[in-house]
Structure 1
């Protein structure tokens, strides 16, 4: 077994190198906008998209839960809780995803595998001024890699995100998220290593009117540079959303129940995603 793991460790390193992507994203509202949320980030979803945006959250506290109820998107669930203490905002969140892997040994034999990845984040957002905020995530990865013929390999890793959000004018914001700032290695039993590379994600948001926002993001600026774009039209008790996420169209809506509760839905990649949020 140790010999097999050693083979897999080296080959996985050669195949994936530092190009192992962070697949898909989270939150029914952000994904319905095509995943263009870096400069929007004004609710509890910001813990993933841009923690600096937590300072824009109008409530003292906010909680959200997301689940993929049907479809093939790899992210299964996401939760976050955010609390404001004075001007500083703290958050805690968890994310789960099922990521397929194909491993190849030196004899050319392929090993189909599945990684069950869960990670937890501690978030912090600090406003430097009324126009500028900084944010950070400290992330703790817990992974299980299922490899036929080898077994279940547990893995661990720790990562760091840094983010910034700037109000350029009354209706324009720009944001930047540097995900896994120094790169993050998931280290498995037996020496197997799967790396996440640094992912630089800039974005811009334009409030065309008081109830309409258009946003554009770039995913992995120094690599694949995939484009995301979206729009949100808000109403008294809800919102309509649509966008373009990398290579597919997205659509969704939101419903507000009073000031405390909201429901969001997104359709993306033949998947149905729902989010429930509540505020205090």
Structure 2
């Protein structure tokens, strides 16, 4: 039987020429009852121009509608409805000119807008080789955030359908007894039909371990659905472990993917990606992306891409350069077109991009009061010493005058204090002691500042603390360069927060221009005030706008 199947493939290729080599591989795989060793929809083809540009490393990121395909847990983190359409022409360099394409249409919906019930996604994906072969996937998925949004879990149900086209090769089978001859009968592989349908299950999880670092895990085809026409042909379970470093407008992602095929062959891949965003006040947002991947079965490729978003419309592009076994199949140029409903983009999305700042005004004020008390104590001690030295000097002068008037010499011990404890030297000693006291107080204040920072002091609170320290000690002769450098660094960070605030305010104005309702606008303004009220940023424009909405 195996020799007959091998002969069938050879005859297909010989009699139909290069134009049927691609389908010959698929047909042979079907007759053997195993998956074609091609990058099919059920196997490994990236979906979406943005994830593809990141090298396919999207498991830990999973922050848009493509979570439906990579990690359903990401649906629980979305802030607004999204729809997307993706088209990819695969293997354009095939010599037989076979038209191979992949299509994906998806939608995601938070339930409701505040996500307290999670997020729902639905998608349709199709892989097609002319009219010869087709794989279709219809997916319904759900994700939900837990643990104050630090964790998200998701599950997806997929209806998988694989179908083979009908032609002379399937309707007129080759003879095993007389190789090269056809029997005139239908190929026995297709006696029960040319298609098979099965149900697949995907599982996913996301967990934020640090404000800027998130881990992701997904198990795709967890139940290993069977799509064999004759014998067992179970899809391999794909295990994807991902991580993302998300620093506001910069993202770095990594995925490790593993699967074991029915034949026992294992395939492990490492995929890396990066994304840099630039937000423009009136002209939307620009993204530049890059990625790469290496792995088993001579998988090697490099990806570059870009994206542009304005008023909710998102256009993404990716260029893929195969470097491994598929390098002769041609370079890929693919695009996605998406639309994000509601405010553009959501103010909450920016909050997720920016590191959470905890307010600590009371602690900052307490630290400043402590520093002031320390400074007042040092001043009092210094004045006390100076007064004591002045009294001693006057006493010595009086003793010298009395001795001269009496015609007697001062006691032998008298000249010694004159050399050691002169007024000038006593003042110098007082200054030295005061300097040491100020230095000790300055170091104590800096240690207090460090403790406040370790407990999560806000940027505004840090600036207030540092200004207080510099104001108290900069004129005492103490070296305050460390506090001055720290102040410049914190001011730079606050300037970045101010930039984020301006971007958020601009997005609010776009929401108004798009006709956002009053309730939504009030909620947005109140959250902006709550978020930035302790940062030192001028919120008068936001407060005036809120007052107008509440008191029209």
Output the CA distance in 1 between the equivalents of 2:217 and 2:137. Answer: 21
Output the CA distance in 1 between the equivalents of 2:35 and 2:222. Answer: 21
Query: What whole-Å deviation, never above 9, does each CA across 1:208-264 have from its counterpart, x for those lacking one?
Result: x31111010012266311110000001111100001033111000001122x11100
| Contiguous gaps of at least 5 residues in structure 1 | 101-112
What is the 5 A alignment of 1:38-53? 38-53=59-74
Q: Scaled by the length of structure 2, what TM-score is found?
A: 0.43
3-state SS in 1 of match to 2:227:
strand
Output the CA distance in 2 between the equivalents of 1:118 and 1:14. Answer: 15
Contact 1:126 1:135 in 2 (8 A): yes
Q: What is aligned with 2:235?
A: 196
Query: What whole-Å deviation, never above 9, does each CA across 1:169-207 have from its counterpart, x for those lacking one?
Result: 10000001100002111143xx25532111111100012
Q: 1:82 to 1:12 in 2, by over 3 A?
A: same
- Which of these two proteins has the greater Rg computed from alpha carbons? 2
Aligned: 1:171 with 2:212 = yes
Q: What is aligned with 2:308?
A: 255
When the two chains are superposed, the root-mean-square deviation of aligned CA atoms in Å is 2.9
Aligned: 1:205 with 2:238 = no
What is the 5 A alignment of 1:1-280? 11-13=32-34, 22-59=43-80, 61-69=81-89, 71-72=91-92, 76-86=102-112, 87=116, 88-98=118-128, 115-129=133-147, 130-146=149-165, 149-151=169-171, 153-188=194-229, 191-207=230-246, 209-220=247-258, 223-236=266-279, 237-246=285-294, 247-258=300-311, 260-269=312-321, 270-280=331-341
Q: 1:170 to 1:157 in 2, by over 3 A?
A: same
Q: What is aligned with 2:353?
A: none
Contact 1:8 1:192 in 2 (8 A): no
Output the CA distance in 1 between the equivalents of 2:332 and 2:30. Answer: 33
Contact 2:77 2:152 in 1 (8 A): no
Output the CA distance in 2 between the equivalents of 1:75 and 1:217. Answer: 25
Q: 1:21 to 1:46 in 2, by over 3 A?
A: closer
**TM-superposed deviation, 1:55:** 1.9
Output the CA distance in 2 between the equivalents of 1:251 and 1:14. Answer: 30
Output the CA distance in 2 between the equivalents of 1:206 and 1:94. Answer: 30
Report how many aligned residue pairs link the two structures: 257
Output the CA distance in 2 between the equivalents of 1:9 and 1:267. Answer: 32
Output the CA distance in 2 between the equivalents of 1:75 and 1:256. Answer: 26
Output the CA distance in 2 between the equivalents of 1:196 and 1:122. Answer: 19
Output the CA distance in 1 between the equivalents of 2:250 and 2:337. Answer: 22
Q: 1:75 to 1:133 in 2, by over 3 A?
A: farther
Query: What whole-Å deviation, never above 9, does each CA across 1:131-175 have from its counterpart, x for those lacking one?
Result: 011001100012212476225712211100000000111000000
Contact 1:201 1:218 in 2 (8 A): yes
**TM-superposed deviation, 1:278:** 0.5
Query: What whole-Å deviation, never above 9, does each CA across 1:17-69 have from its counterpart, x for those lacking one?
Result: xxx9713110000000111100111111110011101122222x111110115
| Contiguous gaps of at least 5 residues in structure 2 | 9-27, 94-99, 172-189, 261-265, 280-284, 295-299, 322-330, 342-552
Output the CA distance in 2 between the equivalents of 1:15 and 1:212. Answer: 38
3-state SS in 2 of match to 1:226:
strand
Q: What is aligned with 2:347?
A: none
| Higher RCO (C-alpha under 8 Å, 6+ residues apart) | 1
